[in-house]
Structure 1
């Protein structure tokens, strides 16, 4: 076991890669075998992610990285290195939790609605984990492409004109973003001579003034690629339609994909363009602040205007992304810590809401069959779907469970007390108003007040829209028949919401972890030193 734990950093990448590749050799009709392999690999991924977080939590924040893993045993920065600090470990665990919940939900129906679902699912997890753990920009591009290639297939999983149209738009937008990624990385490499993030952070302050404009141009182009994935206005026009058209478990897993863009922006802005980057310190922060505020406003208006519950959930994703991008621009440890807490809470809540949307639509009279689950999911046009029709058990009191779950989602997404959504926003607002622990006259600038107002407005908009949805679902258009909800479908929703409640109850320890993660991000010297001095594996050859 000790030898296995020595490779703990790379296991979240190798495990889904191997599982996905193995399942490609299985015929699609062997769904049970594929489901067992997929579930076993994802459950094991959760275990590895928990161990990674435990390892990260046991290291002093000022040391930066908790573990480095030079691939091929090449010295840094000549070789690619994987790095696991508190932030990366937290994101890997969040990915694993969403993955296991989305997978369990899909086993009721959706995994049989199209070919290669299980392999694509594992490859998506591989790309996500690789993006969070890599310490190299080009390797980040590679994992981005693995993640996107798998997401293309999952976005189109199933049938239906709406899903195909939205999926093709999604593919086109992300292919353009990938081109920008390559251009930006090429410009940065041409100026700095490296794509290793830690090495790049060490070289940026030394770059000549004549080359700094080209460096910042490359960083700006690279940033646009990240912001397309993060969904910042006006680059996120594709997101609500794509997420609303995707199947419920896919949309629930896609909730973490926007956070990949946010993660990349947060990582690079504080590592490469932090306080120690010389003349480039704070590059792009104003753009992130105002772009984030515009995204919050656009998402809040979209939430109010949405006639579809699935699109409402998509606009909630935009509000979440905008909040995180604006918080990143502050460069304040307290705001960053609150933003990390909000990242986890909002992602869990939105993922649960995407799963809940399909279940809620089933109990509505008007259009329930069309809006809730497409024809192929019920198996009325696909004989193979009959095999999974009896999966799970219709639970008693389903309506009560659905209504309570919906109420918890309302509290979380609107940021109302006493749950984690409120705690996260309160932490961010407190740090914005008290950047140094004491408010002085005129210390709070106008942009801060605008952001605070937008955060309050977005919560109020979510409360209005979700209350309207609840009235339309439970009071006006509810069917008289029992809600056809199975244990295997409602259990993932309860797990995700239960984690949000646990974050509220255990807010002290969780917030302590976020404080340490934020402190490490704002003091990247330890990260840089650990990566550049990453030890190699020295083989002892017997004479």
Structure 2
């Protein structure tokens, strides 16, 4: 059973690659067939991701790792794929976000470009690979795959706004990729390896004369990761880019910033633990205070945003700042709550980006007088009738009793309310559970930085609640004279699924927190990861014997 789970590690990478190749062979037409193939492949990828999560969750340390050697080369010379609790969680989130975004795109956005389905699968391949790889060079490769696909998805649909935002997005990510390569080269020059576990194993033996070069390479690499994670002041590109992207593309982008957060969390806890000697906790203050400033910037940006799409972008920045600050404290209990918050904010952010287009559709619908005309220039009887005596009236002397809320508006209102509660961290949903876990852990720190983050977590929730309430009033309370928008089931189904997952996090909060805390404890015991990776052995094949 364990060996079978280890072999499943390569499926999330190969499946999207094979699907993208197949759809390229189908040519530019056959979009219906491509859509079916894309949905089946993405669904299968999510099922495999869930199997990986259940597999690692069912194991106890030190066996809570799945390790696979795709080329059957010994460590650290070949490619290594690793699944632990953190990477399995990220892979499941990628599958959820990917499937929801794809289903939404089937309504209309798949028709806006020829290679949408191909780019979408390459995006998933890059995301899955980045979360599962165990060496820096392949992390760079998967980064570039997902970024190249994101360039096409950001420009998907055309338009001047997308082109301008896309150019900024491409420029900042090309610079970050260059820094990534420089940082990797420096670390390779110091340690002689690119395998993450091997780097962590060799760091204590780095001579004092090379320690400064080691820290310089780690800092350059961190800048690349933090730029992708949206750390202030490197996040100026994020709100306009995410706001300009099509709804399904922006929804996928909700997890792109988490790739940078994941890379920082993985490498920082692996290479600079408390027992790393002179390098112990390197850069922790930068992470803490940089995350705090980013959280404050995102909260103020949410409050100042007049457009829902930009507000959603600033919400992504606020969530990244929260996670980066929590990482810097090097506290397993705090990081356990932060990982629960990561799952909650990612699902809510994806749903919010999908809702943006539907809510804007409410404001764009205009009343056609002919729809209210019975052909004789008079209103229909049920609209022209006088209210009955004793009927409650609103400010316009119109009857309140018997007024029916259209199903489309009811769905949008409930979905937006749930998204707002999760994003702002208000009870009783998953955002509140995550923030409460982090606030409780911060009370045990008793440092100025901990108190600053404690206060900002509360204020950011208040600012987010005010901003989202204002947007809700604009879209729902002032839309009385507009007919309800027309929604397709394929557009509402993925939003409902994401919100149902957020509700499930609340219903299973105890199990969820236990899982994320176990993931955090594993991260803060880096020897478990090192032993699992360095202990992997290639399969020895005997001639004439089938393995």
* Alignment coverage as a number of residue pairs: 508
Q: For the residues of structure 1 that align with 2:69 and 2:364, how far apart are their CA atoms? A: 57
Q: Does 1:135 align with 2:134?
A: yes
TM-score by length of 2: 0.91
Q: Does 1:509 align with 2:511?
A: yes
TM-score by length of 1: 0.91
Q: How many Å apart are 1:480 and its aligned residue? A: 2.1
Q: How many Å apart are 1:29 and its aligned residue? A: 2.3
Q: For the residues of structure 1 that align with 2:450 and 2:526, how far apart are their CA atoms? A: 25
Q: How many Å apart are 1:478 and its aligned residue? A: 5.2
Q: How many Å apart are 1:363 and its aligned residue? A: 0.9
Q: Tell me, yes or no, if the aligned pair for 1:366 and 1:477 is still in contact at 8 Å.
A: no
Q: For the residues of structure 2 that align with 1:33 and 1:454, how far apart are their CA atoms? A: 49
Q: Does 1:494 align with 2:496?
A: yes
Aligned position for 1:457? 459
Q: For the residues of structure 2 that align with 1:367 and 1:139, how far apart are their CA atoms? A: 51
What SS class does the counterpart of residue 61 from structure 1 fall into?
Answer: coil
Aligned position for 1:534? 536
Q: Tell me, yes or no, if the aligned pair for 1:201 and 1:277 is still in contact at 8 Å.
A: no
Q: For the residues of structure 1 that align with 2:61 and 2:479, how far apart are their CA atoms? A: 53
Q: For the residues of structure 1 that align with 2:57 and 2:158, how far apart are their CA atoms? A: 44
Q: For the residues of structure 2 that align with 1:25 and 1:242, how far apart are their CA atoms? A: 31
Q: How many Å apart are 1:105 and its aligned residue? A: 0.2
Q: Write the mapping of 1:41-56 to structure 2, written as runs, cut at 5 A.
A: 41-56=41-56
Aligned position for 1:10? 10
Q: Does 1:266 align with 2:276?
A: no
Aligned position for 2:251? 252
Q: Tell me, yes or no, if the aligned pair for 2:5 and 2:66 is still in contact at 8 Å.
A: no
Q: Does 1:432 align with 2:442?
A: yes
Q: For the residues of structure 2 that align with 1:68 and 1:2, how far apart are their CA atoms? A: 10
RMSD: 1.6
Aligned position for 1:468? 470
Q: For the residues of structure 2 that align with 1:244 and 1:153, how far apart are their CA atoms? A: 15
Q: How many Å apart are 1:483 and its aligned residue? A: 1.6
Q: Tell me, yes or no, if the aligned pair for 1:364 and 1:479 is still in contact at 8 Å.
A: no
Q: For the residues of structure 2 that align with 1:478 and 1:327, how far apart are their CA atoms? A: 43
Q: For the residues of structure 2 that align with 1:2 and 1:366, how far apart are their CA atoms? A: 55
Q: For the residues of structure 2 that align with 1:112 and 1:416, how far apart are their CA atoms? A: 38
Which digits, 9 at most, give the CA deviation of each residue in 1:465-513, with x for residues without a partner?
0000000100114552122111100111110011000000110111111
Q: How many Å apart are 1:250 and its aligned residue? A: 0.6
Q: Tell me, yes or no, if the aligned pair for 1:336 and 1:518 is still in contact at 8 Å.
A: yes
Question: Unpaired runs of 5+ in structure 2?
Answer: 368-404
What SS class does the counterpart of residue 27 from structure 2 fall into?
Answer: coil
Q: How many Å apart are 1:6 and its aligned residue? A: 5.0
Q: Tell me, yes or no, if the aligned pair for 1:365 and 1:477 is still in contact at 8 Å.
A: no
Question: Unpaired runs of 5+ in structure 1?
Answer: 369-394, 436-443
Q: Tell me, yes or no, if the aligned pair for 1:349 and 1:500 is still in contact at 8 Å.
A: yes
What SS class does the counterpart of residue 454 from structure 2 fall into?
Answer: helix
Q: How many Å apart are 1:197 and its aligned residue? A: 0.4
Which digits, 9 at most, give the CA deviation of each residue in 1:1-45, with x for residues without a partner?
998655201100000010011111122221001101100100100
Q: Tell me, yes or no, if the aligned pair for 2:130 and 2:139 is still in contact at 8 Å.
A: yes
Q: Tell me, yes or no, if the aligned pair for 1:14 and 1:126 is still in contact at 8 Å.
A: yes
Q: For the residues of structure 2 that align with 1:367 and 1:278, how far apart are their CA atoms? A: 67
Q: For the residues of structure 1 that align with 2:22 and 2:541, how far apart are their CA atoms? A: 31
Aligned position for 1:418? 428
Aligned position for 2:34? 34
Q: Write the mapping of 1:190-205 to structure 2, written as runs, cut at 5 A.
A: 190-205=189-204
Q: Tell me, yes or no, if the aligned pair for 1:285 and 1:329 is still in contact at 8 Å.
A: yes
What SS class does the counterpart of residue 71 from structure 1 fall into?
Answer: coil
1:518 to 517, 520, 527: 520
